[in-house]
Amino acid sequence: MVKMERSCQDQWEASPAKVTSRFRLSFTSSSSSSAYYSPICGFGWRLKYVINTEKATLDLYWDPHLCYEMGLDKITVSVQILNTGNSQEYQKSLEGLCMSGGVKRLCSGYTVTQKRPIEIVLSLLFDSSIGLSFPSPQPRANVFLLEFLDASLTRPSPADTKLYLYSARKGHQATRPKSLFVSSNTLRNSAFYWETSTQFSY
């Protein structure tokens, strides 16, 4: 089985606008040749990777995914592959891409060793003429909200926690409770307000 995990949170740079994501690709067991997808990063893009087990090669693609309909262009997409414990490295950049341009090949036939993980660095650089401006550092909750959005589109409802909000007041009592369904993972990683302002710990 092939598994790609995020090595760390996305790095957002304000000027010029740039997003860098790091992944670790590992082989947990023998697997057949197939296509897989990385966790979502940035605004909602991801990597598609195809492993050819017979030739021990990796093909890598950039997939706009959730942001396919965004009207952003003049994007430079760069990928760097670091083979842990090996001097072999790979680096490539594609310029002038747009979000609606579809899946683009970043790497073809990179040699992999199934016993050794590799590090993949994906960077998107936006032209200054687009006018994008990122806060620095980017709020951590954005990553989890994107993953929640992807789960809600591709799988049954990821909501696993039920909260009650009260929509009216009668005298000194709250009335008319309304149900609110949330994802415990998203809540756990974005509830900074509750922990710092109310001392509530989820």
What's the whole-model pTM score? 0.65
CATH topology for 2-133 is 2.60.210
Q: Is the pLDDT of residue 15 over 60?
A: yes
Give Dmax (Cα) for the chain: 73
- Residue 190: predicted pLDDT: 60
Q: What is the DSSP string of 38-49?
A: PPPBTTTBEEEE
Least confident of 116-120, 136-140, 164-168: 136-140
d(CA 15, CA 132): 9
Listed residue (38, 10, 6) closest to 142, CA to CA? 10
**Domain residue extents for the chain:** 2-133, 159-197
Determine the Cα–Cα distance for residues 134 and 18; give it in Å rounded to an integer: 8
- Rounded Cα gap, residues 64 and 62, in angstroms: 7
- Average pLDDT over all residues of the chain: 80
